[in-house]
Structures are given as structure tokens and as C-alpha cells.
Structure 1
Amino acid sequence: MANDAVAGNATRVAAAVPGDGDDPVRAVLAAYTHDLVTAVHETLTTFLTAEVNSLTEVDTSMGSFAAAAREAVLAGGKRIRSTFAYWGWRGAVGGAEPLPPVLPALAALELLHTFALVHDDVMDASKTRRGRPTAHIALAEQHIAAGHRGDPERFGEAVAVLIGDLCMVWADRLLAHATVSPARLFEVRRCYDQMRVETVAGQYLDVLGENDPVSWSVDRALRVARYKTASYTVQRPLLFGACLAGVPADDPLASAYTRYGLAVGEAFQLRDDLLGVYGDPAATGKPAGDDLRTGKPTTLLMLAQELATPAQFRALERAADGPVDRLAELVAETGAVARVERMIAERVSDALVALDTAPVDRTARTALTGLATAVTNRRA
């Protein structure tokens, strides 16, 4: 890959903004990072082939397990985290630095993401992901087809947890393949470890909220968004990329990335809340209304309860056990959907202000500007 092939595509931003009828995030990612996504996929494929072969040699029964883990990693996805990490790195080093030395580190974030997704699907009892059965559901089906003894659902969940664990280990192993100095890799690991801690903390708060909704609030829902999503989707990947470039934590660029990353990351989760209720399942790959059906205390639902008139609040309570479509209508009638849309717009605006004053490479600034809009106005 030419050193500037990825960065050169960023000039196509004007043709890839939302509103053209296509999935905007995929359009913008295609404009900026087609070559990067291809390189990440090739890196993952090569790495996983060796890892799966190694596990298969342990025992022939490991073949299907390892293949399921590989499939979970390679089965689609927009590669958003590696994309933000790339632009965090490119924004610091400019367009001349070669990509291959840091490519394993960027690809490692996709293994970390798979770990989080597989475990999240088990905890949420999700049946589909990206329009396909989730890992634990597919594994339970394999258990039944093979005629094994025991509870297939329990088997599927147990093996899915192991797949998530394996992806976490693989992420560590692939990160170590980055060819940067030991001192720099140490700093990268510190950023990476903080990302992992914050992801687990956010996931715990998410689980707690579902089991203790009466003590939840808009502020706590936003805290979940900050740690479960903003940290490991945008903010930490940007800082991870900056660390790969040797940018110190107290550098103005790191401060700008932090502000931009938190704002875009929270907006990303707020859009996810809306898509979870009003999104098209054909586009999202997941059934609509699951969050409402389970009473998950998202920012959207917390706002609906906060904004509701007494009559609307009583209607929300009555509709909680009824058809999801009616509950979704009531949530919108409170003004919560419009408020969330404003919150998204405010955060994107704040992110762009952070970029305006950041000492960032011009091409990276263009890319990050387009990505801020695209990932927060997506339909999937």
C-alpha cells in the first residue's frame, strides 16, 4: 500500500456526507479508509489463520471453536475503532510515515471490539448481530445439530465467553507485533489498558442499570455512554493512535483528541439509543425495540420519563408491558427523541470546535470532521 493511499482518499469528504440515501458512515469510511480497512482485514486474516491452525493442532475438536472465534472477528463490521486510531496517528505524524509498522496495533483494536461484542451479546441475551445469529445462539444451534448432551443454551453461552476471552488474548498478542520502540510500545500499552478498564467499567454500569432502573437518571445513562462507548469507540482509539506517534499525554493534540473523542463517542451512543428503538432492522441487523422491551435505562428512556407530563408518565408505565410500537410512540410524544437529536448535534458541534484549534495534520482534520458527522448520523 502506498504510504499516502489512505490519507489521499480523505479529500473525497464532500461526496460522502449523510443525506444521499446510502449508509453515511459506510460512505465516509469508504471515502477515507478503503485501503486501511482492506489492510486491517488482511492483517487480521493472516494473524488468525496462524492462530487457528495452532489451536487445531492442540486437538481436532478445537478447529470448530477456533473457526467460530475467527468468524466473529471477520464477519463484517465497519472497523470504526481502527479507523479513529489511524487518524489519531496520522493526525500527529502527517502523510509521509509508512503504515505497516503500526498496522498490527490498529488491527488489534478490532479483536478487542469482538471480545466486547461477544460478551455483550451474552449479557443482553441478544439473538442477532449484523443480521446474523449471535455467537452464543449459533453455538447452541451447533450443539443441537451435533446431538451433544446437556443444555445447548448453556453450552452456547459458555463457549461464547471463551471466544470473547480468546479475542482479548489475541488482541494483546497482535498488538505486540507493532514495530515501534519498546518505550513507545509501553506507553501504547498504558493507553490500551486504560481503554480496557473503562470498557469493563462502562459495561458493569450498563448491567447495573438494567437491574436497578429506579436509581438511574439521565446523568448516569450518559456516564454509561461515556465509559461503555465513547471511551473505546472514539476517544481512546484516537489517543491510542497518538501514542503510536509518540505524542505525550500532556500535548495539546492529546487534549483536543480527548474533547473530540468524548463528544463524538457520546453522540455515537445517543444515536445507537435511537436506532435501538426506531432503526430499521434490515439496516441495523438487530430487532427494533429491544431496549424498550427490557426497560433498559438508556438516555432516551430516562429523558422520556423526565420530560413526560403526569398523564404521559402514567401512559408510559401502562405501555411498558404492551406492544413495543406503542411504547416507542409514547417516548417520541414526550419530546425525548427531539431532545436526543439536539444533544447529538451539540456534541458534534463541540467536537468540531475542538478540531478547529487542534495542532492536527490538515488531511486528518478533514477526515475527522467528516467522521464526526457520519458516525453520529448513521442508520446502522
Structure 2
Amino acid sequence: MGRGKRGLLAAAVTVVCAVTVLAVPGAAFASVPAGPAEPSPRATSKAPPAPAPAPVPDRELEKVRAKLDGLYHDAAVATDAYNAAEEKAREQSAQLAALEKKTDAARTELAELKDQAGAAARAQYRDSGLPPMARFLLSDNPQRFADGAGTLLNGARATKKLIAETDRLERELERDSDDAAERWKKLERDRKDKAAAQKTVQERIADAEKLESRLEKKEKERLAELERQAAHKAQTAWLDSGVLKKAGDSATSAGAKAVAFATAQLGKPYVWGAEGPDSFDCSGLTSQAWADAGTTIPRTSQEQWKRLRHVDVTDMRPGDLVIYFADATHVGMYVGDGKIIHAPRPGRWVTVTGAGTMPILGVVRPDA
């Protein structure tokens, strides 16, 4: 590779390495003469053609691949944070809407109770302003006295109930107002978390794309080949361990439906934060597949790992979710025969790959 292409590769890596300079020992970085030498009087032939550029060593491209993997992993972490904040914001919004509906109903009921109290006060005014107790004691008619006693008792009960109900509703409204204020604060925090995560995702993806854009076509092709070789090696080692000896190939009816949904999405692009129908991120695909099968599961891969039932990897069956990396930042759906369907990362599409091509954290079962 010539000096110019060497510079491009070095610039690509320094996008994220800052102080790391990828250099290949040899003649590629030899100093260039200041100007052409004076031709010999006896020279009659042209200068020999420049040698073909040396290929970039795989070890240098492996460094680039490691940097790309790191950037996309950081983007996946931020994507999970974004999805979690988005889910919380939706929950808070729904709870606020329900609380507002409840508060409106309580206000209407309270207004009706106050109208009843006002009607009672107006009735007392029409009866010469004498309170019921006074009219009862002043009555000289035995029958009216007896009727008045019953009316007085019923009125006292009704008044007591009216006061108690009014007091209850006023306390409930005050409590709900405080609850609503706290939920608004949580909603604002969730929105800020979501915005911060969104910024991080965009920055990491932009860094990765910038790094990849500095590579020559042949370098990109070789990089992709190295990635395929690494995946094949990891899958082969995983299968050779005998991990699938007890794994099942029969799905439940719900699991089969989830697998069918995931299969129908093959070829659709990965878009972070997406839940379909035209694009997905990794947990968006798995959560929507199981929603289509009639089972609601958490939105993020980390929550799927935390909240769904764990099963041993040797006992997994189609429809189970395979969780990857120590921080549970990636997930794919097991479809049998040692393979998963997943949405890999930005710039890729929903695809089938070996379940052992990435470090497995564990397996969870949505239809436990």
C-alpha cells in the first residue's frame, strides 16, 4: 500500500484511538527524495515502475475491527438506556393520564356534594331559619314529634355522611395532586435520560461510521472477511463443546408464532430504538415477536434478562431469547439448529447467524 493509503488507514484508527497511530514497518513510510535526480548522460531507458503497494497486515485491521466493535457496543449500551427511558416515559404518561381522569371524576363528585350541602342550607332558610333540632323540640303535636325525631335522625346521618364524603374527596384530591406533581418530575427526568442516551448513541455511531469511511474498499472487504472468520471460529468452538446435545428443536405454539414473526422480518434494517414495522433494534425485534405471539415482555435486552425465567443454554428451544455480553446489551431469538435471528447493529439487517458467534450471557424463556 502506498504512502497515501497508509495515511488514510492511520487516520481511520486515530478517530477513536486519539494517540494510536497504525503504522506498518517497511518501505511504505520511507522518506521521499526532495526532487528528481539528474539523469545520467548515458541513461537511455525510463525508470522502472513503482512496486505494487504492500497489503495491510491483518493485525492492523484487527485493531480497527476491535475499535469498531467497541464503538458499536457502546452504542448498544446507550440504546438500551434510551429504550428504558422511553418505556418509563410512556408508563409515566399513561399513569398521569389515568390520574387526571380520576381527579376529574373526584372534582365532579365533590362539586355535587357541595351542591347538596347548599341545597340543605337553602331548605333550612326557607323553614324560617330554624335548625331541625329547634323545630323538633318546639313541636306540640305528638305525631309530628315522632316524625320529626325520625327526620332529625336521618338528617343527622345524611349530614354526617355528606361531611365525611366531602372530607374524603378533598384529601384524595390533595394526595392525587401531590402524586401528579411527583410523576411530572419523574417524567421530566425520564425525558432528560432519554435525550442524554440518544446523544450518546448518535455520537458512538457517528464515530464508527467515520472510522469505517476512512478505509479503502479492499480494506473494508478484508475487514468483513476477518469478521466472518472470527464468527465461524466462535460458532465452531461452541458447537464442538456439545452444547446442543440436549437442546430442543420443538417450539411451543406461542414460540413458533414468535419465530415466524422474527423470520418475516429478515432483511429489514437495524435502526436503534426501532420496534417495527419497517426496522428494528435487537430487543425491539424480540419484544415485538413475542407481542405478536400474545406475550408481553420487557422492551430492553437488559430487562428481558432480569425479568424473564432463565433456562440452561443446553435446554433452550426455538422462541427462547439468547442474551449476549456481560452487560446483557444484545439479544437474539433462538430458532433451532444452533442459530438465532437478530438485528445486529447499525448498517446491518435482520439476519440469521450462529448462536455461538458472540459471548453468551444466558438464555431466557418468555413463555415459561
Common fold by TM > 0.5? no
Which structure has the higher relative contact order (CA within 8 Å, separation 6+)? Answer: 1
Q: What TM-score, normalized to structure 1?
A: 0.22
Q: What TM-score, normalized to structure 2?
A: 0.23
More strand by share: 2
Q: Which structure's CA Rg is the greater one?
A: 2
